[in-house]
Copies of this chain bind each other. A is one copy, B any other.
Amino acid sequence: MLDPVSWKSSDGGTYRRYVPELAVSGGKLRLIEQTLLPEKLEYIELDDTESIFDAIKRLAVRGAPAIGCAAALGLAAVVRKTEFNSSGELPAFAQKTAARLAESRPTAVNLFWALNRCMAELKASNAASTGELKNTLLKSALDILEEDIQMCRSIGMYGKSLLHDGMGLLTHCNAGALATGDYGTALSPMYVAHEAGMKIKVYADETRPLLQGSRLTAWELHQAGIDVTAICDNMAAQVMKEGRIDLVIVGADRIAANGDAANKIGTYGVAVLAKYHNIPFYVAAPYSTFDLSLDCGAKIPIEQRQPAEIANGFGRRTAPENINFYNPAFDVTPNELITGIITEKGIITPPFEPGIRELQNR
């Protein structure tokens, strides 16, 4: 359990076994400076609004659940170190801080959700002293982190049931510890299996254009002592053909009511390849990823990103100027290519629509 007075968890201040990324340490938000990965592992500790705003904006921390946790912990840290003349000043200051942090990533739903929840709990609190109000904010943040940890672990436990010793797995992008408060979503079953002594071999697609697979997934799995092999995206088919892959697990950004799942560009291609090679293809995501207002994936808008990510993504020009570039950030994998969806409430298998609705109130 968490001790808000000493700002430490009972296991010594870290909440994640392998990659302790999000924590409060000495009253500060502590996180990995992810922009330096994989070359350097550096932690930064922050307790002022602009540094935290900046850390989220420049992707020092990324991944929807991780951003939510970081913003909540950051809000608590900023308010904690501030001195107030009276406890009445605190809520307005916290609101101003939360509003500023919310501007750091304008489309990050988890960011707004986490900050709103912290502020709502602060306003609903009966605490009278500034010290108690500060601890209320901290408790909200730690609750959000703790719930995220439980969600990750639960996905990991359900997902582990699909794994066995000696298995080869493929994943795409990074839906791991670096994107959540704990073991991640797609990577959580791998961590849980590894923890249980299972020997697995994971192939990580490098995931162009931003290389989250080789920079982040390969890094964090290797940190955990899991056997990981980086491949270029276009090698996945060959690796499958050679019989190296028994199961694919990927994350999701948004899932429609029929199970169609939007995720990082390239996921759909991997699903087609898995189908052709008769390899089970699983999506792992918290239940909050379902958007039941969308009946199918065609309704999910696909963001187009800057040509520079393709043309100039490695510090040198890799394509001519003046040509066209097409750079969709996501794709949608249709439900017929998905073997199952691993959530913290259980694994949903086809037909997805009733399965998804059934878990809604569980």
Contacts and interface: CB of A to CB of B under 8 A. Distances in A.
Interface in A221-237: 222, 227-237
B222 A320 contact: yes
Given A38-B317, A318-B314, A236 B269 contact: yes
Interface string A260-291: 00000110111011011000000000000000
A235 B324 contact: no
A309 B319 CA distance: 17
Contact of A324 (B207, B227, B320, B321): B227
User: What does DSSP make chain A's interface, helix, strand, loop or mixed?
Assistant: mixed
Nearest to A230: B319
A256 interface: no
Contact of A313 (B172, B236, B314, B324): B314
A203 B270 CA distance: 19
How many copies make up the complex? 2
B273 A230 contact: no
Interface size class of A (residues with CB under 8 A): 35 or more
A241 B214 contact: no
A230 B316 contact: no
B229 A208 contact: no
A265 B231 CA distance: 11
Given A232-B265, A238-B331, A320 B205 contact: no
A301 interface: no
A120 interface: no
Nearest to A275: B276
A206 B206 contact: no
Interface in A285-329: 302, 310-311, 313-328
A136 to B, nearest CB: 40
A250 to B, nearest CB: 12
Name, among A227, A229, A234, A272, the residue most crowded by chain B CB atoms within 10 Å (CB to CB): A234
B232 A319 contact: no
B206 A208 contact: yes
Nearest to A269: B237
B232 A208 contact: yes
A198 interface: no
A316 B314 contact: yes
Contacts of A230: 310-311, 319, 323-326
17 contacts: A37-B320, A38-B317, A206-B318, A209-B232, A214-B311, A219-B320, A219-B323, A222-B323, A228-B324, A231-B310, A232-B265, A233-B234, A234-B266, A237-B269, A272-B276, A276-B276, A314-B315
